[in-house]
């Protein structure tokens, strides 16, 4: 399925990404080749335990991502970082820190285009360049993709799966931190949207978002929510990925 408005939204974000106490969770590892068919896009998990995923798009940012990593380390919370390849190229040491501290790193393309408007060759280039720069910087072979603006179609999913075995990952909670640079609002929206299996969307390129995360954790951890990576959350999903009962998000404009 694709989002017709995504190309219009993409024009708003052409410069996007250019300048830029939780107990140990035991979850089954995700191994390359665990599945051999292309699965539906993943928006959230159907689970009976209070696990959810905190995700950050568009970094790494030279100063803000390290500040965020300090916050997560203090609370022993793991997250998933959807990185832009050229930002990894500019800050490989931060990408290495993301991995070294136990977070998941995943593909958000090289230059943040609307993939649904590109040819198969361009899609492959955007994904492969980022895949290779992350592999070189961290030694990690990424396992999933989040399309910029939430813009994808069957072609994008097929290229991502056939080239790299990527699952396509969306989200279930969007505080619109790219639009509303208000920390209190971002905190309120994330806390209100938290639920077992939720995937929370944030961006580690905005100061207001970084400021919003400590109070989010301070409110959710005492409620027994446990933060896992997207890959871990997928292994916990009880839906069989037949997720037509889950409402997919609309396209996400850029900053």
Catalytic center residues = 57, 203
- Bond preceding residue 20 cis, omega within 30 of 0: no
Q: Is 139 exposed, middle or buried (0-12, 13-18, 19+ CB in 10 A)?
A: exposed
Supply 2's token pair: 């694709």
Question: Which tokens sit at 184?
Answer: 């209190």
Token pair listed for 90: 């500019």
Q: Is 169 helix (H, G, I), strand (E, B) or coil?
A: strand
Return all residues near 240 (Cβ < 8 A) that are at least 6 apart: none
Rounded distance, CA 124 to CA 131, Å?
10
The structure tokens listed for 250 are: 């609309």
């Amino acid at each position: 399925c694709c989002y017709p408005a995504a190309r219009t939204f993409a024009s708003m974000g052409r410069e996007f990404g250019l300048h830029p106490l939780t107990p140990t969770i035991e979850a089954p590892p995700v191994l390359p080749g665990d599945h051999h068919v292309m699965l539906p896009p993943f928006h959230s998990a159907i689970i009976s335990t209070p696990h959810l995923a905190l995700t950050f798009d568009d970094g790494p940012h030279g100063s803000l991502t390290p500040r965020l990593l300090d916050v997560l380390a203090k609370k022993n919370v793991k997250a998933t970082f959807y990185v832009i390849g050229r930002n990894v190229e500019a800050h490989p040491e931060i990408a290495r820190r993301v991995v070294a501290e136990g977070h998941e790193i995943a593909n958000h393309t090289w230059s943040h285009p609307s993939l649904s408007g590109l040819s198969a060759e361009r899609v492959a280039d955007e994904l492969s360049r980022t895949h290779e720069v992350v592999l070189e910087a961290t030694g990690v072979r990424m396992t999933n993709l989040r399309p910029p603006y939430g813009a994808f179609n069957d072609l994008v999913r097929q290229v991502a799966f056939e080239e790299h075995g990527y699952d396509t990952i969306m989200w279930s909670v969007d505080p619109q931190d790219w639009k509303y640079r208000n920390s209190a609002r971002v905190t309120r929206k994330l806390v209100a949207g938290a639920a077992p299996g939720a995937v929370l969307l944030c961006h580690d390129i905005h100061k207001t978002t970084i400021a919003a995360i400590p109070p989010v954790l301070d409110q959710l951890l005492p409620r027994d929510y446990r933060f896992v990576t997207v890959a871990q959350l997928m292994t916990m999903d009880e839906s069989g990925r037949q997720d037509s009962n889950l409402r997919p998000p609309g396209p996400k404009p850029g900053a």
